Chains A and B, each alone.
Chain A
Amino acid sequence: MNRAEVRSSVDHAVAFANSLIIFGWSYPPQEPQFVTILDGRSNSTRHRVAKFKSFPRPDVRQALALGSSAADEEIGFAAAVDLSALLGLQVFGSDVGISVESNGAAIASGTVSVLMAPIDGDADSSLTSVYLTLAAQLGLLDTRLSELIKTRSGADATRLAISHAIDFAGRSNSGFVVEGWIANARASAFSFLSTDGLVFIPPSEVIYKARADVTEHLRAEKQALLTDDHGVLLSFAHCLTNTDSFLVLRDDARSLTPIARIKVAFSEGRDRLLEFVSHAVGGGKFPRPAQAKKYYLPFFVDAKRAEEFTVNWIKAPKSEARVSIVVPLFREYRFIFSLLTMQKKFSDDYEWLFVSDDPTQHQILTHILERRSYALSCPTALIVNRFNYGYAASNNIGASVARGKTLLFMNSDVWVDSQAAIDRAEKIMGENSFQIVGFRLLYEDGTIQHDGMSFRHSNLMHNLLLVDHPRKGTPPDDDIGSVTEVPAVTGALLMMGKEYFLQVGQFDRAYIKGDFEDADLCLKVRWLGGRIGLYKTNDIYHLERQSIRLMGGESSRLALTYLNCITFNERWSNFILQRQAPGHTPGANVAQLAAQKKVRAV
């Protein structure tokens, strides 16, 4: 390659101690702000740069024959991204595409194999050491950690010189959690490093617990007593799947000294583990948001996979569809029977797109639908996701297949008594009064399940804003046929123009397993100046949480809601409370649209 023709490059990336540090250069030099990573499973994700430093690259300057202008001297960059943001991505063991962005434009890109620095490893050790040393020199990494790797001093540490015990250890989806005790842990201010080098836990991030039993034990053993806080809870949130040990490091101002290497045996049972972690972290309450992300998130983030799906038209479309109904199906396949019964209430200019998001149900759904093809009264497709992608992705996939100008997102546990309300809502959409139209939904006993959503603070969840359903469980009024503007509507039955849906960036996959995406979508639309309407009808039922209740135990569900609530608040609490811009840009498309005002208020 003739480097003189190249004006930028990503050269290397090193994963170590909670960061992925990307090294590269660009000419003219610009500040890296975002990094887009194309992982080993073809997932493309965009991440904010947590820290960056520029530095001179005389080699590049020479190759490019750039001369020696002092202003342009530092064309090299090192950009650090939080490893915790890469949960679920395949960034180790395969080539990774990296594109570095500044002010919305790519400034450097390249494909690299991410370097690692395991305590026992020697592959790439010299190259890794060089870059870790550079990162330390640039202030992106604790110098003491780079020294630790350079000297390999942790490889031989096998025994802790002081009393300790591991009481409980369990694997999450992407790492592991350990609970136990080390004599005088808080007073000793230990740090911890997973032996794959990926997770570093400084004393400030260790969760300590008072352990009176340990104090009694140490007193009986006549050992020194500096504190009652011997208990520790450690989250090694983003390790390699085979990592099962960590170093205990004595932390002083000048160095980190390995004093033990501890190997753990893992227990089974995710719900039990989550209950345990909840109790340990939150003491019976929800842990604070930062801790919750650290300790809960690894349990819920599955391996991210690029969306692959097949479309099987069971009843082929004849002409252009007016409305495309998108129904994700998860776990409970029997909803297909009520959905197909309901289909007969709709005219054939509605098309039905069932998105099977549960590989264990693909076969039975295919079987049922293909054997009921004669019974279908509307164009109907079964979209089969290769993996379980979740609520947001399934709806987005359905929307990508949809041929209708209008999309109607429908949960599988919704029952629509009559097409009339949907037709009316579509007309309202056509009049351009509202960008999203939701519907009043009833429970099976005729009381209100959804009559628009609002937001309220929750004491239980550290004063975060929760989605609220006003009037839930009360009898509905007879104000049918009217439309009112509301802060947000549920995605259980939500109508939106297809073009607009694609413009605003669809449902966001940042939320896990189906929660808050609807509120997020509504707020995106409102942020861009749009309006949300609620159509009042008493003909539509939502048998809420019939599928989500199948997702796991109570601990899992609560933790999941809390995590999604945290993500939602990080983005939208400022906007909701003060009508300010979101705390976190909810996607490049939306940011660009907002800037260009292509989507505007009506």
Chain B
Amino acid sequence: MRVLIISHGHPMLSAGGAERAAYSLFEHLKKHRAVSAVVFAARATPEQVGHSAQMGLFRGRRDEPLIAPPPADWPSLMSLDYNELYKAVRELLAWTKPNVVHVHHFAFWSLDLLEILYRLGTRVVFTFHEYMAICQNFGQMIKVDRRLCEASSPAECHACFPDFTPGQFFLREQIFRSYLSYCDFFIAPSRFLLSRYVSWGVDPDVADVVENPVSPAILARCAALKSGNGGRAGAAAELQRAAARVRIGFFGQINKFKGVDVLLRAVPLMSEQTKARLEIGIHGANLDQQEDAFKAEISSLLEANDDVITFYGPYENHRVLELMSSYDWIVVPSIWWENSPVVIQEAHLVGKPVLCARIGGMAEKVAEGHNGRYFEPGNPSDLARQLACIAEETGFPHIDVQAQIAAHAKAAERHIEIYRRIARA
């Protein structure tokens, strides 16, 4: 079986969870005997392609083409040069000859990508990574005033984006529905995400929940780390702290959806006794790319709470396991629903329990009392209460790392089963 994976970015060129998930799957498939050939085609800017052609190769790797598609209209996400896109996709398919194409996002590519693949006679599997088809607010299903959104409707979406009429939202939905209908099968990495899409209109008979497997290399390293039960083996030298303090780690982008501000606001609400028991490390990138008001707010909160919190800035993905191993708990305070956060997968793979908001994909991936705890989303007071409980606990939840590793290997297998079924159909 020949598989083509199409991603909206290459993880070496843009650090998003969806790109990483697509690439990890690619690495699994490369090792699988049922797959005779697999190609990872990533959207790139013309500068990243590096020459005058629309297509090139990442680091000269023949199975990792980079493609610079023409721009797409916003918010319809329809290509502004369908003909050029058609030509590029046709040439990509002629070269890779896939039995199945697995599209991990239409962002940057445009929705036309799905129709072109259908038109060229390939089978298409599509993975949802967020709620982009449902929500114009970056696909987060969170209102512009940060309230959680349960379902979209033209009138409610217009309330979030007054410059767009309800009718335009209606048409946006029709366009997305029309183009998603060109896919043969949908994969959602969480039941929660799938339920939202089924409520929106996706046929549950052609959709399933399959976790994004993390890369085989990471799984191998997790097995080697042998961490778990709150141990700190392999911790980075710069993160050594007094053993008496419980260490809480935040890993992720610093933006208005990831809830780092909720975490920072929780600290002043804690008692001095709790503060003395806790040490919080924040590892995250892209603060510099945020709006000025948000940057100023975060900087101010970091400065005000530097007795408990240390801001380490960006981190290299390949170091995340070691960094996480140095913590006792990982906190995921996102204010949006999330899907299946990579950070939760990674935390569990190094045996760390997760403290997360009690919503969406986070709540689904964390079992309270088993491999983590919940707090009320966007609520610093409740987060402070939960942190106080953690500070007073003497032990940490046990997480079966081997079972986690096996689950990821199984997820890769499950992808291949779906490809087989779709290719036969």
Contacts and interface: CB of A to CB of B under 8 A. Distances in A.
A574 interface: no
Interface residues of B, number: 27
A344 interface: yes
Interface string B167-186: 11111001100110000000
B360 interface: no
Contact of B154 (A338, A342, A374, A444): A444
Contacts of B155: 444-445
A341 B84 CA distance: 18
A432 interface: no
Contact of B115 (A337, A342, A375, A543): A375
A192 interface: no
A354 interface: no
A480 B178 CA distance: 23
Given A375-B112, A444-B166, A445-B154, A338 B86 contact: no
Interface string B105-119: 000000010010000
Contact of B170 (A345, A375, A444): A444
Contacts of A223: none
A137 interface: no
B81 interface: yes
A373 B165 contact: no
A338 B82 contact: no
Contact of A338 (B83, B115, B171): B171
A413 B179 CA distance: 19
A527 interface: no
A337 B83 contact: no
B76 A338 contact: yes
Kindly name the residue among B80, B82, B83, B155 whose own CB sees the greatest number of chain A CB atoms within 10 A: B82
Nearest to B111: A341
Nearest to B165: A546
B389 to A, nearest CB: 46
A413 B167 contact: yes
Contacts of A342: 174, 178
A341 B168 contact: no
A512 to B, nearest CB: 23
A544 B178 CA distance: 21
Contacts of A445: 153-155, 166
A546 B178 contact: no
Contacts, number: 74
B82 A543 contact: no
A338 B170 CA distance: 10
B78 interface: yes
A372 interface: yes
B306 interface: no
A334 interface: yes
A279 to B, nearest CB: 29
Nearest to B170: A444
Contacts of A373: 82-83
Contact of A543 (B76, B83, B168, B175): B168
A344 B153 CA distance: 25
A368 interface: yes
A415 B171 contact: yes
Contact of B171 (A368, A372, A543): A543
B73 interface: yes
A371 interface: yes
A541 interface: yes
Contacts of B165: 543, 546, 549
Nearest to B70: A371
Contact of B174 (A372, A375, A415): A415
Nearest to A367: B80
Interface in B68-91: 70, 73, 76, 78-84, 86
Contacts of A371: 70, 79-84
B126 to A, nearest CB: 17
Contacts of A374: 82-83, 86
B152 to A, nearest CB: 11
B80 A338 contact: no
B82 A337 contact: no
Contacts of A367: 80
B178 A341 contact: yes
Contacts of A413: 167, 171
A250 to B, nearest CB: 55
Contacts of B169: 444
A415 B167 CA distance: 10
Interface string A108-147: 0000000000000000000000000000000000000000
A492 to B, nearest CB: 12
B86 A543 contact: no
Interface string A501-529: 00000000000000000000000000000
A325 B303 CA distance: 64
Contacts of B153: 445
B167 A337 contact: no
Contacts of B170: 415, 444, 541, 543
Given A374-B86, A444-B166, A546-B168, A341 B174 contact: yes
Contacts of A334: 73, 76, 168
B71 to A, nearest CB: 11
A342 B78 CA distance: 13
Nearest to A416: B174
B78 A337 contact: yes
Contact of B175 (A338, A368, A375, A546): A338
Contact of A372 (B83, B168, B178, B179): B83
A110 B82 CA distance: 54
Contacts of A415: 170-171, 174
B43 to A, nearest CB: 18
Nearest to B182: A344
Interface string A389-400: 000000000000
A189 B154 CA distance: 58
Contacts of A341: 78, 174-175, 178-179
Interface in A368-386: 368, 371-375
A373 B70 CA distance: 15
Contacts of A338: 76, 171, 174-175
B39 to A, nearest CB: 23
B178 A337 contact: no
Contacts of B171: 335, 337-338, 413, 415, 543
Interface in B168-227: 168-171, 174-175, 178-179
A130 to B, nearest CB: 60
A375 B76 contact: no
Nearest to B73: A337
A546 B168 CA distance: 8
A544 B170 CA distance: 12
Given A415-B171, A445-B154, A375 B178 contact: no
A437 B178 CA distance: 27
A337 B112 CA distance: 11
A150 B123 CA distance: 87
A556 B73 CA distance: 31
B82 A372 contact: yes
Contacts of B86: 374-375
**7 closest pairs, A vs B, by CB?**
A543-B167, A444-B170, A372-B82, A371-B81, A338-B171, A444-B154, A337-B76
Interface of B: 70, 73, 76, 78-84, 86, 112, 115, 153-155, 165-171, 174-175, 178-179
17 contacts: A334-B168, A337-B175, A338-B76, A338-B171, A341-B78, A342-B174, A371-B79, A371-B84, A372-B82, A373-B83, A375-B115, A444-B166, A444-B169, A445-B155, A541-B170, A543-B170, A549-B165
Interface of A: 334-335, 337-338, 340-342, 344-345, 367-368, 371-375, 413, 415, 444-445, 541, 543-544, 546, 549
Given A338-B175, A375-B82, A444-B170, 20 more contacts: A334-B168, A337-B175, A341-B174, A342-B174, A344-B178, A345-B178, A373-B83, A374-B82, A374-B86, A375-B86, A413-B167, A413-B171, A415-B170, A415-B174, A445-B153, A543-B165, A543-B166, A543-B170, A543-B171, A549-B165
